[in-house]
Structure 1
């Protein structure tokens, strides 16, 4: 896992990025000491696995980054491939997904550092869950990533504790 600076910029960008990173770290830490098989195991009625959560959040961050950049997502999922976002497929490993996510993290941080203002906005794609013709700010995107990652960090905590009793806190 990548070592990150412990120094946090005191401005809004640095603070928001620090909160995003804290939630990324919470997810990554649920995988510590797990084998590929353990991380792919289902420990409840849910379909969620630790490796599936990892892959999902990495692809979610990529998707939001590409939306903000207003660029095509090279890993855009279709209805047929949607389920592959939640599990490792042939040839994928946890180290591969961690490296992919680290690259996305670096790209997100560089992009946010370069935008003129966190008030800059981008359009949301057409979807039943988004209001029509809505734009959101870069600030909104970062807060959404905190929300998304925190939700899945909680899922990952439960999955990990169900597998081997390891608790994220305590």
Structure 2
């Protein structure tokens, strides 16, 4: 459930950002109190781990922000880079991924505040999962982040419950 913030304006931008933040927080909270080993574990049938989901979501948000701003997205062309996007590699920790994501969050909020209109659009990159020559609006991007984070927050809930029985909803 999205929390109503007194810090974010109640207009459309603020509302969308508060829903993005609610799902972002749900993902982050799933890893609270775990060791690095627990956060990296894969206790379900899936290959996903909590730390990998955090890294993926932070990078995903940054890639969408880059695309919306006209910069190239991330490089996940190789099978290895795709795999590394869902797991921590040498030198990374849950703490460093969360700190990185905090920076991305600030960039997203500043970008959304500065964009002239949520109707402004940007092209999607060539990819098998996008229609050719498609464009999406800034509004669509924010709604997509809500969708992406909510999907992964559900994964995170299952993983966390499998690790230690902790459930997001009591």
TM-score tier after normalising by the smaller chain length: over 0.9
Within-5 A mapping of 1:34-53: 34-53=34-53
Count of aligned pairs between the two proteins? 165
Decide whether the 8 Å contact of 1:63 with 1:76 is kept in 2.
no
Q: Are 2:11 and 1:11 aligned?
A: yes
Partner of 1:78: 77
Task: Give the superposition deviation at 1:6.
Answer: 4.5
Partners of 2:165 and 2:42 in 1: CA distance: 14
Partner of 1:89: 89
Q: Are 2:134 and 1:121 aligned?
A: no
Partners of 1:6 and 1:30 in 2: CA distance: 24
Partner of 2:142: 142
Decide whether the 8 Å contact of 1:9 with 1:15 is kept in 2.
yes
Partners of 1:72 and 1:130 in 2: CA distance: 16
Show CA shifts across 1:8-35 (max 9, x none): 3110000000000000000010011100
Show CA shifts across 1:109-145 (max 9, x none): 1001000000000000011111111110000000000
Secondary structure of the 1:56 match is helix
Task: Give the superposition deviation at 1:72.
Answer: 2.7
Partners of 1:144 and 1:72 in 2: CA distance: 18
* TM-score normalised by length of structure 2: 0.94
Q: Runs of 5+ in structure 1 lacking a partner?
A: none
Q: Runs of 5+ in structure 2 lacking a partner?
A: none
Partners of 1:26 and 1:90 in 2: CA distance: 26
Q: Are 2:161 and 1:132 aligned?
A: no
Secondary structure of the 1:86 match is coil
* TM-score normalised by length of structure 1: 0.94
Partners of 2:77 and 2:128 in 1: CA distance: 16
Task: Give the superposition deviation at 1:45.
Answer: 1.5
